[in-house]
Chains A and B, each alone.
Chain A
Amino acid sequence: MEVDILELSDRSAKFVLSKVGMAFANGIRRAMVADVPTLAIEYVNLYDNTSVLYDEQLALRLSLIPLVTDLETYMPQAECTVCGGEGCPACELSLTLSSEGPAVVHSGDLISSDPLVQAADANIPIVELKKGQKLVLEAIAHMGYGRDSVKWQAGIACGYKNVPIVSVENCDACGHCAAECPKSIILVEESGAMVPEEDLLKCSLCRLCEKVCDINAIKVSFDENAFVFTMESDGSYTARDLILNASDVVKGKAEGLISILDQL
């Protein structure tokens, strides 16, 4: 397996994963979306709400706010070894919020009982309070899995495509393919059409160039064992940590399978 990082920032990443099969690439993608646990608000005790939103709408908005997650301190509630799923400091924490209008309540106004766990973005508007309106609540956040609810989904827009291969043979440099390519990556020189190396990954494998070539000089195919991955994180983890955690999940599942097979 080889990894070639093209772009890496705090919240997003783009890399080429090669010498692996499609199943493995998809395993990593699914782990990022569904199997890396994160913290999200699950219960809300509302003590006062005279805002324009119903309690349920408020709870929904709160639940969708990504919280910076500390995987070492917290464990998924259903698997909690300390309390067995009833709720304890090892699997949940509380955040409080109290505000009076006129004001716009933002995610940064949530006061967390654990200073390490904060809203990933401080400026997510929760509700606008007019003069005299009040909001007082306590929210309980749990660790959970993306497969159970989107609020626990850390990976956003995770996807991959095969690395494209564009080959040109016996080209008469008519230029039709270059005019058709939606990504404008085909250059036509005297020697014929070609796609510069640095633009090749932009090819969407649409095959429009193949269709317009009257003499079938251009061929588009792809490498079955190399993938261009793009992914973003919602802020619960950095992009780097999310990829590493996803790999750990895949590894843990593989080890689990081996130990089951050993017992047979």
Chain B
Amino acid sequence: MISVRCFSCGKVISNHWDEYKRRVDGGEDKAVVLDDLGITRYCCRRMLLSHVELVDVLSPYQ
């Protein structure tokens, strides 16, 4: 699951994950999506850019 807040500045960024994922999967440029979402600082941008979702990988082993 995406971290709730940015590690560095503390801004809540996880509430943008669903929209970010949907739009990036739809072929939009990541930088443009991040700008649109109002995520301006690079500490917050890397949170979304570098996130790898592991729920689907882990869930069979519960």
Contacts and interface: CB of A to CB of B under 8 A. Distances in A.
A118 to B, nearest CB: 14
B55 A128 contact: yes
Most buried by A among B2, B4, B14, B18: B4
A153 B10 contact: yes
Interface of A: 50-53, 61, 64-66, 107, 120-121, 123-128, 130, 133, 150, 153, 156-157, 232, 234-235
A143 to B, nearest CB: 18
A52 B62 contact: yes
B59 A156 contact: no
B38 to A, nearest CB: 9
Contact of A121 (B2, B9, B10, B15): B15
B17 A125 contact: yes
Contacts of A123: 15, 18
A234 B1 contact: no
B4 A52 contact: no
Contacts of B5: 64, 150, 234
Contact of B12 (A51, A128, A157, A235): A235
Contacts of B55: 52, 127-128, 130
B4 A124 contact: yes
Given A66-B12, A121-B12, A235-B12, A61 B4 contact: yes
Contacts of A51: 62
8 contacts: A50-B62, A51-B62, A65-B12, A123-B18, A125-B1, A125-B14, A128-B55, A157-B41
Contact of B1 (A53, A65, A235): A53
Q: Is the interface of A mostly helix, strand, loop or mixed?
A: loop
B11 interface: yes
A127 B4 CA distance: 11
Contacts of B17: 125
Contacts of B18: 123, 125
B52 interface: no
Contacts of B58: 52
Contact of B59 (A120, A130, A235): A130
B10 A156 contact: yes
Contacts of B15: 107, 121, 123-125
A255 B15 CA distance: 40
A53 B62 CA distance: 10
Contacts of B2: 125
Contacts of A107: 15
Nearest 5 pairs of A and B residues by beta carbon? A64-B4, A121-B15, A157-B9, A130-B59, A52-B58
A182 to B, nearest CB: 15
